[in-house]
Structure formats: structure tokens, C-alpha cells
């Protein structure tokens, strides 16, 4: 079997998987997912600077609030505001925009998977078709990122054996996860009290929201 | 890691498992009560009610160490009674609607762990405030313990009354259908 045939079979397997997801989720969910994935990707690539500016503006607003800008002492607040660095810099802009896009895609997937929001369509064939299309779109967007994970692995290990390639990929992803967790933890430890309050409140509301319609019955 | 941190983590894990079994729809009701309790204890501390109790008890000739022990016992007893009452018998459930699936498991674990953190963290905080009475801690606190102290429920916010904010929002959500 030639390498081209193997690639073709691997790609077909990949698309069959996405087609099956499309079959399960239905046509309407897949169309919404397709549209939002594409539109958000294009918008963030073309107009991502708007999101970056908004985030930096929000960061400066937090600085303004923390330095007493809303309760007087305007000069100190404006001084702190002028000296506050941007949250999103040129170095981490690409990573930030990718993270925003990934969050949009994840939320879209979760929302469009909810049968209370998305009604099941009868057209299974169109669901499969759009599932396959979503597979192609995600492959086109994500493959460049995933291939970077394999670049640092020994070339022979990555190319010759499926198990070796998988091991290299998992190891690299594990290293990336550990490094990200460390960064998040160092950020969490220095989070201001208001940040904790907002985080705990939002987390509890997020958990409580789906249960709000459940009337407590008698025991 | 010292024994007090291990005890703290153990209680949090046990309550997380309890949360997983009972479900977030029940555990959130307990969370509301525990958050109000932490806020109330914080308010009592700020208003000097504990100190006043100490002054009243001083009339009977108790020494400061005994007064600290008595105050700590009072706080622990009140909180323990509240914990037992909220978990035993007819409970103050948030909702009758259980969240199912993976999100339900995560929610149960998270809310259960929060309850464990509120209970164990409050006990630890007041044990620290009153100088670890009854030899609860022999020897110095480890670096991990020192690092955790500012993150305990009564200390994580500038004012423990802040805990009333998420508790009140949850209460509104519970009533508003």
C-alpha cells in the first residue's frame, strides 16, 4: 500500500467520524456550527484587532477601578491608567485570538448539541454532509497547529511508527498542558479578591442556571 | 506538606465525593447556608462579638488561652450543628432537577468541593486566629500551610461578608422560577 493510499484511508476515516457526528447532531446543528466556525475564524483573522483593543480596554478599566478611579482621586487613577501595560501584547496576540476562536467553537458545539435549543432535523443525509464539511474545515484550521506539536519530536519516531508518533504527540501535548497549568496557577495565585469573587459567583451561577426551573418537591 | 493541610485536602475531597453522590441540585442549597455562615462569622468577628464574649467570660476569671479555646469551641460547635442540620433529614435543596451527564458529575464535584472548602477552611482559619487551641498544631506551619492561609474562606476576600453576594444571588435564583 502506498503512502498516498494510507493518507487517503486515514482522511476518509477522519471524515467518517465527523459524518457520524453530523448524523447524530442533525443538519441544523451542523449548519450553525459550520457557519459560526468559519465566520468567527475569518472575523478574528481580519478584524481580530478589535477584540484585542476591547480586551486591553477592559484591562485598563480594571486598573482604573482598582486604583480608585470611580471613587475620587482622579489624578492617581489616570496616572495608573497611563502606566498600565496592555493585557494583550503583539507577542501573545495570535495565541489570544486562537483561544477566543477555540472558545467560540466549543461554546457553539455545546449549545448546538442541546436538543432544547436545536430541534432535530429529519434530513440525516444533510447532517452527514455538513458533518464531513465541518471535519474538513477543522482539519484545515487545526492541522497547522497540531503539526507544530510533532515538529519537536524525533523525525523517525514521528514518521515510522504509529505508536511512536502517538507517543510523541501525547508527550508534547502533556508538556504544553503542564506549562499552561503552571502559568494559569501563577496567575490564579496573584488574582485580586474581586477576581475571586467574580469567579466564584459566575461558577455557581453557571452551575445553578440549568436547575432554576426545578421546583423543590416535598420529601 | 503538614498534617493540617492533609486534613484540609481530605475534607475537601470527601465533600467533593459527597457532592458527586448527592448532586449539585442538593449541594447548592448547603452552599448557600455555608456561605451565609462564613459571612456571619466574619461580621461577628468584625463587630467584636467574639471579643465581647471573651470580656464577659473574663468576669469569671478565665485566662486568655482558655478564652480562646472557648471561643473556638463556640464557633466550631455552631458551624458543626449547621453542617449536620443541613445534611440530615429534610434538606434545603436548591432544586429538584438533577443535572445529568458529564456536566452533572463535574458540577456535583465542584459544589461538593466548595462546601468542603467552606467548612474545613473556616475551621482552619479560626483555629489559626485563636492560636491552634487544644494543641491542634504542634510545631510551625509548613510553607504550603502558610501559602494557603490567605485563601481560606474568611480571608480570601477583604471582608468575609462578600460571601453573601454569591449566596444572595443563588437565593434569588432559587426563588425566581
d(CA A64, CA A136): 45
A146-169 per-residue burial string, b: 16 or more CB within 10 A, e: under 16:
eeebbeebeeeebeeeeeeeeebb
pLDDT at B110: 94
Q: State mean pLDDT over B78-106.
A: 85
Distance from CA of A133 to the nearest CA of B (A): 27
pLDDT at B63: 75
pLDDT per residue as tens digits for the range A2-30: 777 888 888 889 899 999 999 988 888 99
Q: State mean pLDDT over B90-113.
A: 85
What is chain B's Cα-based Rg?
Answer: 17
Confidence band for B59, pLDDT divided at 50, 70 and 90: low
pLDDT at A66: 67
Average pLDDT, chain B: 86
Instruction: Tell me whether residue A105 is exposed, middle or buried, using C-beta atoms within 10 angstroms of its C-beta: 0 to 12, 13 to 18, 19 or more.
Output: buried
Nearest CA in chain B to A207: B107
State whether residue B120 sits within 8 Å of chain A by CB.
Answer: no
ipTM for the whole predicted complex goes beyond 0.95: no
Q: State mean pLDDT over B29-37.
A: 93
What is the pTM for the complete model shown? 0.64
State whether residue A116 sits within 8 Å of chain B by CB.
Answer: no
Question: What residues in chain A have per-residue pLDDT under 70?
Answer: 1, 66-74, 77, 149-166, 169, 213-219
d(CA B9, CA B144): 12
Chain Cα centroid distance, residue A147: 18
Amino acid at each position: 500500500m502506498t503512502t498516498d493510499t494510507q493518507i487517503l484511508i486515514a482522511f476518509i476515516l477522519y471524515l467518517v467520524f465527523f459524518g457520524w457526528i453530523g448524523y447524530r447532531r442533525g443538519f441544523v446543528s451542523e449548519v450553525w456550527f459550520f457557519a459560526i466556525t468559519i465566520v468567527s475564524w475569518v472575523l478574528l483573522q481580519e478584524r481580530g484587532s478589535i477584540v484585542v483593543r476591547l480586551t486591553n480596554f477592559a484591562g485598563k478599566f480594571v486598573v482604573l477601578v482598582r486604583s480608585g478611579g470611580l471613587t475620587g482621586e482622579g489624578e492617581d487613577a489616570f496616572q495608573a491608567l497611563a502606566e498600565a501595560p496592555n493585557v494583550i501584547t503583539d507577542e501573545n496576540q495570535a495565541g489570544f485570538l486562537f483561544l477566543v476562536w477555540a472558545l467560540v467553537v466549543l461554546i457553539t458545539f455545546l449549545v448546538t448539541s442541546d436538543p432544547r435549543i436545536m430541534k432535530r432535523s429529519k434530513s440525516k443525509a444533510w447532517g452527514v454532509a455538513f458533518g464531513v464539511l465541518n471535519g474538513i474545515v477543522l482539519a484545515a484550521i487545526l492541522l497547522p497547529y497540531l503539526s507544530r506539536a510533532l515538529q519537536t519530536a524525533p523525525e523517525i519516531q514521528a514518521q515510522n511508527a504509529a505508536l511512536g508518533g502517538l507517543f510523541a504527540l501525547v508527550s508534547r501535548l502533556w508538556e504544553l498542558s503542564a506549562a499552561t497549568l503552571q502559568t494559569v496557577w501563577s496567575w490564579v495565585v496573584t488574582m485580586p479578591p474581586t477576581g475571586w469573587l467574580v469567579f466564584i459567583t459566575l461558577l455557581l451561577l453557571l452551575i445553578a442556571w440549568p436547575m432554576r426551573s426545578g421546583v423543590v418537591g416535598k420529601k | 506538606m503538614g498534617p493540617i493541610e492533609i486534613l484540609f485536602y481530605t475534607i475537601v475531597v470527601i465533600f467533593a465525593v459527597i457532592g458527586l453522590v448527592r448532586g449539585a441540585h442538593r449541594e447548592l442549597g448547603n452552599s448557600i447556608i455555608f456561605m451565609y455562615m462564613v459571612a456571619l462569622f466574619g461580621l461577628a468577628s468584625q463587630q467584636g462579638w467574639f471579643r465581647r464574649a471573651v470580656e464577659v467570660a473574663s468576669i469569671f476569671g478565665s485566662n486568655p488561652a482558655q478564652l480562646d479555646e472557648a471561643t473556638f469551641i463556640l464557633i466550631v460547635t455552631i458551624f458543626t450543628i449547621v453542617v449536620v442540620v443541613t445534611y440530615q433529614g429534610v434538606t434545603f435543596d436548591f432544586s429538584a432537577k438533577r443535572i445529568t451527564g458529564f456536566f452533572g458529575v463535574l458540577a456535583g464535584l465542584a459544589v461538593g468541593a466548595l462546601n468542603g472548602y467552606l467548612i474545613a477552611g473556616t475551621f482552619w482559619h479560626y483555629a489559626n486566629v485563636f492560636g491552634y487551641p487544644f494543641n491542634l498544631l504542634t510545631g510551625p506551619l509548613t510553607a504550603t500551610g502558610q501559602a494557603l492561609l490567605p485563601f481560606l474562606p474568611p480571608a480570601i476576600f477583604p471582608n468575609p461578608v462578600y460571601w453573601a453576594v454569591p449566596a444572595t444571588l443563588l437565593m434569588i435564583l432559587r426563588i425566581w422560577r
